Structure 1
Amino acid sequence: MDARVREHAETIADHSTGIGAGDDVVIQMPKEAEDLAVALHEVCGDRGANPIYLNYSKRAQRAFKRSSEEFSEPGHRRALYEEADVFVIARGGANATEDADVDPETNAAYNRAMEEVKRTRLSKTWCLTQYPTASHAQLAGMSTEAYENFVWDAVSLDWDEQREFQSNMVEILDDADEVRITSGEETELTLDVSGNSTLNDYGEANLPGGEVFTAPTRDGVNGEVHFDLPLYRYGREIGGVRLRFEDGKVVSHSAERNEDLLTGILDTDEGSHRLGELGIGMNRQIDRFTYNMLFDEKMGDTVHMAVGSAYPETVGEDNEINESAEHVDMIVDMSEDSVIEVDGEVVQRDGTFVFEDDF
Structure 2
Amino acid sequence: MDSRVERHAELIVEHCVDIQETDDVYVSAPAAANDLVVALHAELGKRGANPLLSWRNSAASRAYHREMDAEEYALSEHSLAVMEEADALIAIRGDENTAETSDVPPENLSAAQRANQAVQEARPDRWVGTQYPTAGNAQKAEMSTEAYEEFVWTAVNKDWDEQYDHQEQLVELLDPAKEVRIRSGDTTDLTMSVAGMRAVNDDGRKNLPGGEVFTAPVPDSVEGHVTFDKPVLYMGREIQNASLEFEDGEVVDYAADQNEDALGAVLDTDEGARRLGELGIGMNRDIDRFTYNMLFDEKMGDTVHLAVGRAIDECVPDDADIEGNQSATHVDMIVDMSEDSVLEVDGDVVQRDGTFRFEDGF
Supply the distance in 2 between the matched residues of 1:105 and 1:147 (Cα, whole angstroms): 32
What does 1:1-359 align with in structure 2 at a 5 Å threshold?
1-69=1-69, 70-121=72-123, 123-316=124-317, 317-359=320-362
**2:302 aligned partner, one-letter code:** D
Q: Which moved more, 1:166-175 or 1:319-328?
A: 319-328
**1:148 aligned partner, one-letter code:** E
- Spell out, residue by residue over 1:153-211, the C-alpha distance to the aligned partner (whole angstroms, 9 max, x if none): 11111100000000000010000000001000110000100000010001100000000
Supply the distance in 2 between the matched residues of 1:347 and 1:124 (Cα, whole angstroms): 32
Supply the distance in 1 between the matched residues of 2:313 and 2:290 (Cα, whole angstroms): 29
- Spell out, residue by residue over 1:319-346, the C-alpha distance to the aligned partner (whole angstroms, 9 max, x if none): 1221111100000000000000000111
Supply the distance in 1 between the matched residues of 2:199 and 2:248 (Cα, whole angstroms): 22
**1:337 aligned partner, one-letter code:** D
How far is 1:93 from its partner? 2.4
How far is 1:357 from its partner? 2.4
**1:113 aligned partner, one-letter code:** A
Identity %: 58
The answer to whether the 8 Å contact 1:310/1:321 transfers is: yes
Say what the alpha-carbon RMSD is for the aligned residues: 0.8
Match of 2:122, SS state, is: helix
Q: Structure 1 unaligned runs (5+)?
A: none
How far is 1:124 from its partner? 2.3
- Spell out, residue by residue over 1:202-223, the C-alpha distance to the aligned partner (whole angstroms, 9 max, x if none): 1100000000000000101000
Q: Structure 2 unaligned runs (5+)?
A: none
The answer to whether the 8 Å contact 1:31/1:93 transfers is: no
Supply the distance in 2 between the matched residues of 1:285 and 1:328 (Cα, whole angstroms): 23
The answer to whether the 8 Å contact 1:132/1:151 transfers is: yes
Supply the distance in 1 between the matched residues of 2:245 and 2:231 (Cα, whole angstroms): 17
How far is 1:355 from its partner? 0.9
The answer to whether the 8 Å contact 1:128/1:205 transfers is: yes
Supply the distance in 2 between the matched residues of 1:3 and 1:186 (Cα, whole angstroms): 45
After TM superposition, the score normalised by the length of structure 1 is 0.99
Supply the distance in 2 between the matched residues of 1:33 and 1:124 (Cα, whole angstroms): 24
Supply the distance in 1 between the matched residues of 2:79 and 2:329 (Cα, whole angstroms): 19
The answer to whether the 8 Å contact 1:177/1:343 transfers is: yes
Supply the distance in 1 between the matched residues of 2:183 and 2:270 (Cα, whole angstroms): 28
The answer to whether the 8 Å contact 1:300/1:351 transfers is: yes
**1:40 aligned partner, one-letter code:** L
Supply the distance in 2 between the matched residues of 1:152 and 1:227 (Cα, whole angstroms): 27
**1:10 aligned partner, one-letter code:** E
Match of 1:136, SS state, is: helix
- Spell out, residue by residue over 1:47-82, the C-alpha distance to the aligned partner (whole angstroms, 9 max, x if none): 111111100111111111111221110111101110
Supply the distance in 1 between the matched residues of 2:45 and 2:59 (Cα, whole angstroms): 31
